[in-house]
Homo-oligomer: A and B are copies of this chain.
Amino acid sequence: MVNGEGAFPSLALALLGLVRDGARHGYAMYREWNEPNGLGAVWRIKQSRWYALLARLEASGYLTSTVQPQGGRPPRKVFRLTPAGRDAYLQWVRSPVEHGRQFRLEFLAKLHFARQEGPGVVADLIDRQRAVCRGWLEEQQAHMAEASPEQPFLYLVHRYRAGQVAAMLDWLDACAGMPDRYAASV
């Protein structure tokens, strides 16, 4: 715990996806993130925080930067992945989320970048996440069985969660069944 260490909010690793195929400066990454079909609709980040996250990723050794001066304008800070950054990114984009509350933002982010890695990566990710979700569902169903008689409120809580997880599984099935070049039809 000397410097620049400390557990990372895993969602921040998503930003690495923007430089997976080449160097870009912070502002350009920010614009790409907020493009109509980008992740901005899922996870909104303010500019000030954006730059702070990039700085942290650099401090953690996942990004390096070089400064490009340009007449008049503030100089661009161009980022690229370090080998450690590439490892962390690939590990991140291929692994399912471990808690239901991460699905809403983080799994969607993973899926977004997995699509850019190719159909194989997408299929793998969805399969692994399905397995995790099936585990959640079983847990909740077990809790429902336990809570049923004397604890009606607890029963409702677990039934709610089970329903949410079941909807995730349906959606994952739909994603898996959808051709990757989905654009033309439907």
Contact = CB atoms under 8 A, between A and B. Distances in A.
B175 A170 contact: no
A-B pairs, 4 with minimum CB distance: A167-B167, A163-B167, A37-B151, A152-B182
Interface in A103-157: 104, 108, 111-112, 115, 148-157
14 contacts: A37-B151, A37-B152, A111-B156, A115-B153, A148-B186, A150-B183, A156-B175, A159-B174, A160-B168, A163-B170, A163-B171, A164-B164, A164-B167, A167-B167
B157 A41 contact: yes
Contacts of A150: 37, 183
A73 interface: no
Interface of A: 36-37, 41-42, 101, 104, 108, 111-112, 115, 148-157, 159-160, 163-164, 166-168, 170-171, 174-175, 178, 182-183, 186
A115 to B, nearest CB: 7
A76 B135 CA distance: 44
Given A42-B157, A108-B160, 5 more contacts: A115-B153, A152-B182, A163-B167, A163-B171, A166-B167
Contacts of A152: 37, 182-183
Nearest to A180: B152
A113 to B, nearest CB: 10
Contacts of A174: 159
Contacts of A156: 108, 111, 171, 175, 178
Given A163-B170, A164-B167, A171-B160, A153 B186 contact: no
Nearest to A103: B160
A176 to B, nearest CB: 11
A72 B47 CA distance: 55
